[in-house]
A and B are shown apart, each in its own frame.
Chain A
Amino acid sequence: MATNAIDRTRRMLSLVTYLRERPGARVDEVARAFGISQDELISDLSVLPMCGTSFRGGDLLDIDTDGEHIWWYNAEATGSSAGEPLRLAADEATALLVAARAVATLPGLRDGDREALLRATAKLEAAAGESAGASSRLSVTFESEGEVFAVADRALTERRRLRIRYYSPGRDELTDREIDPVRLFAVGHTYLEAWCRRSEARRTFRLDRVASVELLDTPADPPPVEPRDLSEGLVQPAASDPEVIIEVGPGGRWVAEYYPHDTAEELPDGGLRITLRTPDPATLRRLALRLGRDGRIVAPAQLADSAREAARAALAAYDTPV
């Protein structure tokens, strides 16, 4: 990951404090403590000897490494206070406090973990002083279904299989399946990534759509799979998925916000022509119904037909002619 100059300066200042207290520190340990690669650390160590309080006549930091240990030969060079731990900036306090408060609200968190987090948050608030103030201007709520979460978390820890009843909105149906959990993650909603024994494939389940969950005695045995890369978003349609074209009026523009799509062209009436791909277009029937006069399915024709038919069948129950 590319680091900007501010982040790097911040890191090097902390490094100076850290190394001052630890002569001969090991490169691998320092890298781990700072959450960076050894290469990044070595590259910081190559900049530090060019830094110092040179206005007093060449007191540059005499820091050197043999690739294994780090040595600092003139730790007094930083003067009276440059080696001390620095106060937290407003953004730093905010980033850590907001995240800690959000994680602490997760219903499924283990009690011990939650207590540790709350203790740490309180200490941090005290130490951050006025820098902590701005953190009240940012907040995050994770959604998570308490009981389902707790059972899934336990299944992961104990490596056991789960039986779930899962709701698929696209088909409006509940299915029973056995799954081997791989991991839990939260992006807005909380999800369980698992190997589904029914489809013998990796599946992602949204916890609020799990109607019931049961912990089985069978050991979980998911095939080795790389966790999904979430940086590109949760829904990643394949190039081979069928294309769906939807035209919406101004009142249907929200579709572009909720459905990952390939393109959204502006239409003269203030609407959008949205092109997206999905493995199973039939699941979009409910979107077509929901849109009403705010939009229509252009392609595929079968999807448009099925929405029309569904609407007609529904109207029949109200005894109203179309």
Chain B
Amino acid sequence: MAIAKAERLMNLALCLLGTGRPLTKRELRTSIEAYIEAGTEDAFNRMFERDKDDLRELGMVIDTVESLDGEIGYLARRDRNRLPPLTLDAEEAAALGLAAKVWQQARLAGAASGALQKLRAAGMPLAGAEQETFSALEPRIPAGEAAFEPLMIACRDRRPVTFDYRKSNAAHAEQRQVEPWALECWRGHWYLAGYDRERRAERVFRLSRISGRVRSRSGAFTAEVPGVVAVRESVAEWAGESATGAARIRLRAGAGYPLRARATWTREGENGWDELEIPHGHGLGAWLVEFGPDVIVLEPAELRADVVDRLRAVAKG
């Protein structure tokens, strides 16, 4: 029951924030209605532990203090729980308001509006009509993958995880043991960078290729986390964005605009064909084949052979 739980959490939060001295579990049990009705001691203990975790999740620092007679008391100290003074003007408030809207993932969308509400409570001004017309752009960050949330938490808490992962050209998923470092969204897809324990090296994983549950494991990281994690660079390399040489092709006049857009030089030829030099990197063959009879590879020879090979496979198919 969402209402009952929110009510219970509110009561616990207000008690812990409002007290000047540590409150014992017993005191809390006998004063918060939901705890009085909790039934067995076990049920109460489980509920209480979960509730404390939930309050910590929303930012509360709860201190545990042991009294002289050995009883544990809890309190949320004023100095450790208050937001430091923060003054935002209406423009800055409007800018943050726009930024908070970009998350499509429920947990982060909730966290972003929660942050705004805290700032609002701390006096952040409400944008006037003139600030509502921020830039016309409506950016959105997608995060539909089920693996996103557990990995985000694992990165945050620096917890090792295991998950089943299928490489792009593999039929079956394999279990991987990873120390997750960072998540990055690039071109609308999420990637995880981390240390692969079995391969003993840094690896980048695409979240959409993770199947089943992400399980977090006990214990600490064994490999050092690098200061800068270059997720995007690794992905760009696979995507064929880092050229290692140049290729020369013939292209039918009027065709292949994207090839022309990245050509290093173009010579307009006769008979309706132009000659271009384009950067040559991983994946170029597969891309050139897409243009069918409008592209002829001149050099290098291995690219030419790759393209002919691919075309033959389709011609026979």
Contacts and interface: CB of A to CB of B under 8 A. Distances in A.
Interface of A: 2-18, 21, 29, 32-35, 47-48, 50-55, 61, 78-82, 84-96, 98-100, 102-103, 106, 108-110, 112-113, 116-117, 119-120, 123-124, 126-127, 129, 131, 134, 136-143, 149, 152-153, 156-157, 167, 169, 172-174, 183-190, 211, 230-231, 250-251, 253-254, 257, 269-271, 285-293, 296, 304, 307-308, 310-318, 320, 322
A8 B181 contact: no
Among A16, A251, A318, residue most surrounded by chain B Cβ atoms (within 10 Å):
A318
B43 to A, nearest CB: 17
Contact of A116 (B31, B95, B102, B155): B95
A289 B314 contact: yes
Contacts of B61: 87
A290 B135 contact: no
B117 interface: yes
B64 interface: no
A81 B14 CA distance: 9
B103 to A, nearest CB: 6
15 contacts: A2-B2, A5-B5, A9-B6, A85-B83, A86-B121, A87-B80, A94-B156, A95-B109, A127-B84, A138-B183, A153-B136, A183-B138, A292-B289, A293-B310, A296-B317
Contacts of A55: 15, 23, 27-28, 30-32
Contact of A33 (B10, B76, B126): B126
Interface size class, chain B: 35 or more
Top 3 A-B residue pairs of the complex, sorted by shortest distance between their CB atoms: A188-B188, A270-B171, A79-B18
B169 interface: yes
Nearest to B317: A296
A173 to B, nearest CB: 8
Contacts of A231: 104
A47 B9 CA distance: 12
B222 interface: no
B253 interface: no
Given A312-B315, A315-B308, A51 B184 contact: no
The residue in A87, A120, A157, A231 that gathers the most chain B C-beta atoms within 10 A of its C-beta is A120
Interface string B27-41: 110111100000000
Interface in B270-287: 286-287
A296 to B, nearest CB: 5
Interface stretch (B51-59, B65-73, B197-205, B213-221): B51-59
B255 interface: yes
B269 to A, nearest CB: 14
Nearest to A2: B2
Given A8-B6, A141-B184, A186-B137, 12 more contacts: A54-B11, A80-B78, A85-B121, A87-B80, A89-B60, A102-B141, A106-B139, A139-B231, A173-B255, A251-B169, A253-B166, A293-B317
B267 interface: no
Contacts of A81: 17-18, 76-78, 81-82
A285 B293 CA distance: 12
Nearest to A310: B292
B258 A88 contact: no
**A91, A183, A318, most chain B CB atoms within 10 A:** A91
Nearest to B294: A172
B178 interface: no
B172 interface: yes
A290 B289 contact: yes
A245 to B, nearest CB: 14
Interface string B228-267: 0001100000000000000000000011111001000000
B28 A172 contact: no
B113 A187 contact: no
Given A285-B292, A318-B304, A109 B27 contact: no
Interface string B79-106: 0111111111101111110111011100
A54 B23 CA distance: 13
Nearest to B295: A314
The CB with the most chain A CB atoms within 10 A, among B30, B138, B184, is that of B138
A174 to B, nearest CB: 5
B62 interface: no
Contact of B257 (A11, A14, A174): A174
Contacts of B76: 81
Contact of A103 (B28, B31, B98, B206): B98
A308 B314 contact: yes
A139 B117 contact: no
B33 A6 contact: no
A310 B293 contact: yes
Contacts of B187: 143, 188-189
Contacts of B104: 231
A87 B10 contact: no
Given A86-B59, A89-B111, A288-B314, A102 B139 contact: yes
Given A153-B135, A250-B170, A172 B291 contact: yes
A11 B96 contact: no
B137 to A, nearest CB: 5
Contact of A7 (B89, B114, B166, B168): B114
B303 interface: no
A7 B57 CA distance: 10
Contacts of B7: 47, 50-51
Contacts of A250: 169-171
B78 A85 contact: no
A157 B42 CA distance: 61
A72 to B, nearest CB: 14
